[in-house]
Amino acid sequence: MNFVPEPGLEKTFRDPAGSVAISRSGVLRSVIHDHAAETLDFLATPLAARLTAQGHLIASEVLRSDEDGLLLSHPRIPFISYPSEWPPALWGAAAELTLNLCTELVEQGWILKDATPLNVLFTGTRPIFVDLLSIRRIEPAHPIWFAYGQFVRTFLLPLLAHTQLGWRLQTAQTWRDGIEPEELYAALSWSHRLRFPARTFITLPTLLGRMMKSMPGSIKPRTSADAEMTRGVLLKTLSSLRSAIERTAPAPRSSNWSAYAESATHYSAEAHAEKRQFVADALARCAPRHVLDVGSNTGNYARLAAAAGANVVAIDQDTRALELLYAQSRQAGHNILPLCVDLAFPTPATGWQNRESSSFLARCEDHFDTVLMLAVLHHLLLSSQIPLGPIAELCVRITSCNLILEWVPPSDPKFIEVLRGREAIYGHITEAAFRQAFAPHFQILRESTLSNGRILFHMQKRPANGING
């Protein structure tokens, strides 16, 4: 097997039982000898086969099993995403999968030894549990789910902080071990502290923790000699957590951008139809496999790309717009992954030596054959203050072939709105300057001026060694 680890995300190493190396084509997992037999035993169960067939658990192929341990191969998820990029609905879906998976495991004598959002990836809106080595046999004498605290800190409390306090889930990259109950207790009002689930998962643990500090000795974990009782206690624990997650899910709300497509006055029905037809024709012409929709809003054009047969990653800064896109995509079965990413300030590489989690831009390279940037350019130019040249260079980096772009002229109402009286500073931003900045990198296959004056372009990336004729 010709396997070259992917730069920036070569290995995971925090699990003592094994490690993972990732390439463009697949994933290799090595398991140390002491844990190989248990892993093979689980993979041989009907439960493992069923979970894999249902798409809840990553598929595994045994490549080698010997005295050195075990080597497994897994399929590559189309696009790796991280919890700090997920809108709340994806957090809820990942939590639900984790609890449902653990419930099925417990019923068959297995359990998850850890429970963190990092164990889950998404294909479109569908969560997949990828940490095979997290699965182990139940210890009948211990009716305690040892991953309980980790699930609460990394799933439940971040969602509670988001719904009750408005803390952004995008800061989760700084919460690798989650949020402690004491942190939220201090921030919550008494009325919130006394409501479920905060009462159970924040207030009581905080107050009990204070009591324990003043008490000598320690509390020993409860044990049981009854395997059936152990299973019952574990299932009740998982049910309680499921109820808490359901109560924590944020209610759908509108935002300035979540109704943008329906309320935009600068687009007539005619201009909308022209734009939609141009994008649909461009997608049909390039037949994309992997599409990045930048500034997707609620996903009108992401859905066009998905209907053309592409795997779509849709990014936007508006969480509520992404929540609507998630709900619509899940209901319709569209292969769209909505992520909360700001292209002007994208997710950085993080972790040990910045090599555990790769940056968003590194994950984009050589992945997307088509990028949609519709009504985005003027926001990058004026709101994020990125010059035309660097924007063109970024587009070169994130698409391997096609760029479908919308130019918003300085006379456009939205351009003027974002400009906010700074004409003297941005007077150099013209259509001619735009064409000049992109010409060294892209050739125009087709362009169309809409009835509202905006211009749509279908561009193709020029070869790296020079400009085409």
Ordered by start, the domain boundaries in the chain are 11-75, 85-248, 260-461
Provide the pLDDT for residue 24: 73
Query: Which residues, given as ranges, of the chain have pLDDT below 50?
Result: 1-10, 257-258, 467-469
Provide the pLDDT for residue 427: 74
Provide the pLDDT for residue 257: 47
State which H helix or E strand residue 459 sits in. strand 455-461
pTM, rounded to two decimals: 0.90
Provide the pLDDT for residue 313: 98
Provide the pLDDT for residue 467: 47
Provide the pLDDT for residue 414: 86
Adjacent-strand bridge partners of 311:
290
Provide the pLDDT for residue 433: 95
Provide the pLDDT for residue 351: 84
Q: Is the CATH code 3.30.930.10 the one for domain 260-461?
A: no
As to burial, measured by CB atoms within 10 angstroms (0-12 exposed, 13-18 middle, 19+ buried), residue 67 is: exposed
Greatest Cα pair distance, the chain, in angstroms, is 81
Provide the pLDDT for residue 216: 60
- Torsion, Cα of 398, 400, 404, 405 (10° steps): 40
